[in-house]
Amino acid sequence: MTALESPALPFEPYKTKVVERIPNPSREDRERALERAGFNLFNLRSADVRIDLLTDSGTGAMSDRQWSAIMLGDESYAGSRNFAEFESAVRELTGFPHILPTHQGRGAENLLFSVLASEGSIVPNNMHFDTTQAHVRHQGAEPRNLAIAAAYDPESDVPFKGNVDVDRLAELLATAGPHRVPLAMVTLTNNSGAGQPVSLANFRAVAGLCRAQGVPLYVDMCRWAENAYFVREREPGMASRSIAEIGRAFFDLADGATMSAKKDGLVNIGGFVATRDGRVAERLKEALILFEGFPTYGGLARRDLGAIAVGLEEATDLDYLEHRIGQVRYLAGRLDAVGVPMFKPIGGHGVYLDVRRFLPHLAADELPGQALVVELYREGGVRAVEVGSIMFGDPGPPGARSLELVRLAIPRRVYSASHLAYVADVVGRVYARRDAVRGLTMTYRPERLPHFTARFAPVSPAVEVLPRPA
Ligand code: F0G
């Protein structure tokens, strides 16, 4: 099915109870804000942003039931009732016996890789997210991306572009073996590759390979509910199964998981790491106490755990997911109508613009992804994020990465269709004057996770170089 043909208005399955005013910075305000921010939109004040599509992580709106859970917080250091609620919600959803809360996803990654990975080991994944990749490297290990070839093709119509290339995984496991590969990971959905889903059949094949080689398989389950929605929609035999059942079918095949509850946990902060392995759990717990906090709060207020317990359940609601994915498709449909090049099929949590086709006149070292992000902000105060060479800080020349994307991530339950129509107009206006968009140069580059703190400056207008007289 191609939702792009009819961008139906997504029906909001909720009513508004609290509102927050949206800032309206003028063009001059925006120019000044860009200068102040060193042309890195992470440095903007939220007061300078009209529509904030920087991330869908921790930026969603909580429900009245979640706010009620917050008010019922039991702030005991140890043994809080909210921990029991959280633990039983995660256990019911995943079936994992050992569950440790963390302050967010990368807290879980830090614990997992500090326990399992070490100098010289290799961690395969369909595609690592930037913090996941950075945590693998932090242990001296090598992150290896093994997504199928179609994952790198923005134009082909393949339903599960998040899938792992099982042949390449089999080869890695056969040659490196469990002593070099301490764990394998699969990211649901594949955020670094345009929010594309992984099929249950592919995950089952991955789990079979891992089991045969004695390599534990962990899921990065940040967006597991959105992944389950696509499986239900696209995988044969899945249409009558619930989101929770489909999620469970994945978790039953895995040895553990890391989770940023800021995504499909529908909260503003929180996460966890879970495992079936009691010995790993003991070591995770020691690391947890060192880095995060006591195992019944893990770096969070206890009330936050109560909100996660409710959020995980709300994320399985089909009305909610239909609206959520519907919003992404609505925005994509409006962009498609004016010819804006996007990564297709459209993924779960945002629209990913295809930078190379959007700004073909900019060379890789003119940082076209960042230039586009700056231009969307300049045009209409829309904040997006580059998902390309800068986010992944790849060694090698700029543009070495095969995918150069700009993500318009949609926060959960926050914006309405008219906000998305506004965003589509802004992107459309930039697309109409794309030939005039100028490149950027990086003036400060931090060693790790460059996209958060790098600074940029516009390159001077191109000077026409005339051929030398003979
Ligand atoms: N894994 C994936 C797939 C993610 O998308 C993220 C975060 C993390 C792990 C880390 O979780 O932020 O809670 O520490 N993604 C955010 C984003 C930042 O904008 O996509 P975290």
Q: Return the CATH number at 408.
A: 3.90.1150.10
261 Cα nearest atom in ligand 1: 13
∠ CA 342-227-234, nearest 5°, is 80
Say yes or no to pLDDT of 6 above 80: no
Pocket lining: 133 vs ligand 1, CB cutoff 6 Å: no
Nearest to 192 by CA among 364, 386, 336, 326: 386
**pLDDT score for 173:** 96
Distances from the Cα of 366 to the Cα of 287, 371, 442, 443, angstroms: 42, 8, 9, 12
Domain end position, chosen among 276, 295, 314: 314
Packing angle of the helix pair 81-94, 243-251 (nearest 10 deg):
80
Q: pLDDT band for position 1 (50/70/90)?
A: very low
The structure tokens 């830090």 sit at 110
**pLDDT score for 460:** 74
Mutation to probe ligand 1, out of 127, 221, 263, 304 (largest number of atoms < 8 A from CB):
263
Q: Is residue 8 part of a domain?
A: no
Number of domains observed in the structure of the chain: 2
Taking only the tens place, the pLDDT of each residue in 111-168 is 999 999 999 999 999 999 999 999 999 999 999 999 999 999 999 999 999 999 999 9
**pLDDT score for 423:** 98
367 & 219 share domain? no
Q: Is residue 11 part of a domain?
A: no
Start-to-end CA distance of the chain, whole Å, equals: 60
Residue nearest (by alpha carbon) to ligand 1 atom 19? 55
Q: Is residue 163 part of a domain?
A: yes
349 Cα nearest atom in ligand 1: 20
Task: Enter the pTM of the model.
Answer: 0.94
C-alpha 447/C-alpha 110 separation (Å) is 18
Q: In this structure, what DSSP letter does residue 139 have?
A: T
For residue 103, give its domain range: 64-314
Say yes or no to pLDDT of 221 above 70: yes
Mutation to probe ligand 1, out of 56, 106, 387 (largest number of atoms < 8 A from CB):
106
Domain end position, chosen among 276, 297, 314: 314
Report the phi/psi class of residue 171: left, alpha or beta, with left for phi > 0 and alpha for psi in -120 to 50. alpha
Calculate how far, in angstroms, residue 172's C-alpha sits from the geometric centre of ligand 1.
26
Say yes or no to pLDDT of 27 above 80: yes
Domain end position, chosen among 285, 314, 343: 314
Q: Do residues 349 and 315 lie in contact, with contact meaning Cβ atoms separated by under 8 Å?
A: no
Pocket lining: 104 vs ligand 1, CB cutoff 6 Å: yes
Residue 57, both tokens: 């992580």
**pLDDT score for 255:** 98
Calculate how far, in angstroms, residue 104's C-alpha sits from the geometric centre of ligand 1.
8
